[in-house]
């Protein structure tokens, strides 16, 4: 079989490296809107060669690893798939993507979300073990073809991933709380420090707590602003929820309610029991 990857950044590039380690595909090809990324992907060995969009559409398995707004536009361009072709999107928000898939091609599509990544992006950020031992969410499986689902599962097994099943509504709400809102919080933290006088002096004494919380603020604004747009309502709900907690903490500090603040902090420790 031949695999085609559209989007050769961290996710697509790492996928290419990982698929080369498997026995499923005889050829890995790719495409990217950025010509520099195309050249880098071939030079770094992320894919065997780069083809145009028409060439990618001839592949047995097609992976869509671009930002979510681009995934929607790419799906609109896909026509006349063969019965046993498989198209997999890696989008971090599912409602708009799944709604865009033409009904006559719905069986060809399996919508997946790999719960992994780093703050780095572009082909140079790719590494072959990105997906290993991570969670892969299968979303709205009922309308996907059985052949396509079986092949998608086999690919995930070859990648060493753990499969979780979820509908698109739950997926988009849950990821707003555990992924999308934390990114907004990290961007807010970084911008807060950058707006202070002499931010370099503040960062110079930063320890693990600040570095950990601010790490994902280095993530691609192109990717995360597109996710915010497509998951607006769920993201706003999660932001309002965190604002409520921050306001509650602020009032306790203002009112010298430090015993209550301690209890509030201690209750948060319970999260360790379910992670």
Pair (117, 183) in one structural domain: no
Residue 104, Cβ density class (10 Å: 0-12 exposed, 13-18 middle, ≥19 buried): exposed
The whole-number pLDDT of residue 198 equals 85
Out of 142, 166, 190, pick the residue that ends a domain.
Answer: 166
Residue-level length of the chain: 275
The answer for residues whose C-beta is within 8 angstroms of residue 160's C-beta and 6 or more apart is 131, 132, 133
The whole-number pLDDT of residue 272 equals 84
Pair (151, 241) in one structural domain: no
Query: pLDDT tens, position by position, for the chain (275 residues)?
Result: 999 999 999 999 999 999 998 889 999 999 999 999 999 999 999 999 999 999 999 999 999 999 999 999 999 999 999 999 999 999 999 999 999 999 999 999 999 999 999 989 999 999 999 999 999 999 999 999 999 999 999 999 999 999 999 999 999 999 999 999 999 999 999 999 999 888 888 888 888 888 888 898 998 899 999 999 999 999 999 999 999 999 999 999 999 999 999 999 999 999 888 87
Pair (178, 160) in one structural domain: no
Q: Domain total for the chain?
A: 2
Out of 122, 151, 166, pick the residue that ends a domain.
Answer: 166
Out of 112, 144, 166, pick the residue that ends a domain.
Answer: 166
Pair (97, 180) in one structural domain: no
> Going by DSSP bridges, is the β-strand pair 162-166/109-115 parallel, antiparallel, or unpaired?
unpaired
Pair (117, 179) in one structural domain: no
> What end-to-end distance do the CA atoms of the chain give, in Å?
38
Range(s) of the domain holding residue 220: 171-273
């Amino acid at each position: 079989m031949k695999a085609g990857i559209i989007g050769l950044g961290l996710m697509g590039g790492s996928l290419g490296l990982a698929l080369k380690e498997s026995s499923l595909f005889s050829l890995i090809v790719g495409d990217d809107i950025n010509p520099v990324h195309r050249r880098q992907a071939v030079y770094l060995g992320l894919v065997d060669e780069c083809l145009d969009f028409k060439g990618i559409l001839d592949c047995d398995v097609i992976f869509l690893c671009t930002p979510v707004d681009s995934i929607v536009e790419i799906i609109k361009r896909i026509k006349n798939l063969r019965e046993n072709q498989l198209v997999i999107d890696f989008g971090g928000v599912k409602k708009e993507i799944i709604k865009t898939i033409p009904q006559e091609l719905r069986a060809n599509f399996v919508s997946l979300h790999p719960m992994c990544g780093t703050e780095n992006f572009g082909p140079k950020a790719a590494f072959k073990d990105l997906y290993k031992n991570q969670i892969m969410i299968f979303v709205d499986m009922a309308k996907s073809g059985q052949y396509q689902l079986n092949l998608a599962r086999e690919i995930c097994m070859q990648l060493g991933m753990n499969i979780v099943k979820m509908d698109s509504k739950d997926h988009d709400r849950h990821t707003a709380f555990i992924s999308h809102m934390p990114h907004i919080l990290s961007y807010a933290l970084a911008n807060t420090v950058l707006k202070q006088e002499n931010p370099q002096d503040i960062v110079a004494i930063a320890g693990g707590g600040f570095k950990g919380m601010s790490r994902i603020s280095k993530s691609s604004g192109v990717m995360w602003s597109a996710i915010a747009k497509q998951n607006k309502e769920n993201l706003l709900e999660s932001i309002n929820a965190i604002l409520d907690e921050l306001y509650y903490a602020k009032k306790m500090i203002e009112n010298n309610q430090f015993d209550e603040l301690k209890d509030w902090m201690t209750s948060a420790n319970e999260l360790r029991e379910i992670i």
